[in-house]
Amino acid sequence: MKKRVIEVMAALAGAAAVLAAQAQKAPPTAAGPQPKSAKEADAIKKVANAKTPDETIAAVENLITNFADTSFKSVALYEAAEAEDAKGDSAKAVSYGELSIEADPKGGDAMNAMLLVAGELAQHTKEFDLDREDKLGKSEKYVNQALEILPTIAKPAGSKISDSDFANFKKDKTSEAHRDLGLIATARKNWPVAVSEFKLAVDGASTPDSVMMARLGNAYIETKQFAEAKAVLQKVLEMPMLNPSVEAFAKQELARANNGLKGGK
């Protein structure tokens, strides 16, 4: 679901067009924030062109250290948060994500960062954490704020993104929000809410998401809806090029669903 180009174009409202135009020595085709100097433009371009998470993080640190007032701070910090997420460092992903939100609380990048931080907090909050409800409450607050921002985001004027691609971007972000609410419900062991939210996430995504479908299957089992669980988990296992860990989880949950249908405990 992570469509980097669409997200960045939507969030920056034309910044990607500015960068592309600079590379071609042509005027930008969409209104939006612009670098204040050639050096800042070069630093932004390094963020955009980074190939690995470590390269992204280094380029972001270079940008915000040397150009503290850059208009691109929020999106750059969001890219760093995504890079830390890719590296599996949840704490740093949350840290960069919250800095992105702070840099532009009402912008599209803040919406992206809110969903990322919400998901990280929901997934990594443990049952016996002393601050468990504080983390889950913050996660829920971020999701609700993101859902308020999302309808206000318009396709950048002059962008080359098709209306259908932009509509799918917004659908996928809405789906991501419901996924996060499902994760929060899972952490609270509120399985009926988890079923409802994961179903909204699965049904609302522009393309099938195997992880969300597997989570929905798990939530169905926890509410003893074994037939529904079996149906969705079989669909997961029929998906091509399935991630091995998702496949293993889906097989495990399918066995639980079949056992439940047979009357097992």
Of 15-29, 42-56, 224-238, where does the model show the most confidence?
Answer: 224-238
Nearest Cα neighbor of 145 from 115, 122, 121, 116 is 115
Task: Identify whether the C-beta of residue 234 lies closer than 8 Å to the C-beta of residue 211.
Answer: no
Q: Give the pLDDT mean for 245-262.
A: 97
122-178 tens-digit pLDDT: 999 998 889 999 999 999 999 999 999 999 888 877 777 888 888 899 999 999 999
CB atoms within 10 A of CB 105: 15
Q: Is the pLDDT of residue 24 over 70?
A: no
Which range is least confidently modeled, 5-9, 25-29, 49-53, 241-245? 25-29
Please say if the pLDDT value at position 260 is more than 60. yes
Rounded to the nearest integer, the mean pLDDT of the chain is 87
pLDDT (tens digit, 9 = 90+) per residue, 214-249? Answer: 999 999 999 999 999 999 999 999 999 999 999 999
User: What is the structure's pLDDT at 2?
Assistant: 45
Check residue 13 and give its pLDDT. Answer: 38
The backbone region for 263, taken as left when phi is positive above 0, alpha when psi lies in -120 to 50, beta otherwise, is left
Work out the pLDDT band at 32, boundaries 50, 70, 90. low
Domains of the chain: 4-191 (1.25.40.10), 208-265 (no CATH)
Look up residue 229 and give its amino acid. A
Q: Which of 25-29, 38-42, 131-135, 165-169 has the lowest mean pLDDT?
A: 25-29
In this prediction, residue 1 carries a pLDDT of 43
Contacts made by residues 21-30, CB under 8 angstroms, sequence distance 24+: 29/158, 29/159, 30/156, 30/157, 30/158, 30/159
pTM: 0.84
Looking at residue 157, its pLDDT comes to 72
Q: What percent of the chain has pLDDT over 70?
A: 87
Place of tokens 């998906």: 239
CB-based contacts of 34, cutoff 8 Å, min separation 6? 15, 18, 28, 71
